[in-house]
């Protein structure tokens, strides 16, 4: 099944984000070999060159590296993966806070609301 993409954003950036999410969530573990460009492109229903551009960005960030005859691998640097995970989380929190501000919540009100919801959950 083809991946869904936002038509307002470059596809290679969305591919990068999707692969990054798989790395930081552990779906592609530290040191794991990634599927081939052809396989990933087929899964996402995109041009392999577009997928290649996404992987090149992940390589530039140090999260992925290529071995000449063996393919691409996730970095074995768990600290780098953890940093990428934290950066991604911070981006999501910033986005959330901006959306909350748009409906009239300041940061403190948003935090209080989250705490209230969490405390109300059954244990």
Residue 23 near residue 74, CB atoms below 8 Å: yes
pTM of the shown model: 0.84
Which residue matches tokens 């950036």?
13
Give residue 43's pLDDT: 94
The tokens describing 109, both together, are 């009100």
Per-residue pLDDT tens for 64-113? 999 988 999 999 999 999 999 999 999 999 999 999 999 999 999 999 99
Place of tokens 């798989």: 22
Counts for the chain of helices (H) and strands (E), in that order: 5, 2
């Amino acid at each position: 099944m083809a991946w869904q993409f936002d038509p307002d954003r470059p596809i290679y950036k969305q591919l990068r984000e999707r692969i990054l999410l798989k790395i930081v969530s552990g779906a592609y573990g530290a040191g794991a070999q990634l599927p081939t460009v052809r396989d990933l492109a087929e899964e996402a229903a995109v041009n392999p060159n577009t997928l290649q551009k996404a992987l090149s960005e992940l390589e530039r960030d140090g999260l992925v590296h290529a071995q000449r005859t063996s393919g691409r691998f996730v970095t074995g640097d768990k600290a780098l993966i953890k940093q990428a995970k934290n950066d991604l989380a911070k981006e999501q929190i910033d986005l959330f806070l901006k959306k909350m501000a748009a409906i009239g919540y300041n940061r403190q009100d948003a935090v209080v609301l989250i705490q209230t919801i969490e405390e109300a959950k059954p244990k």
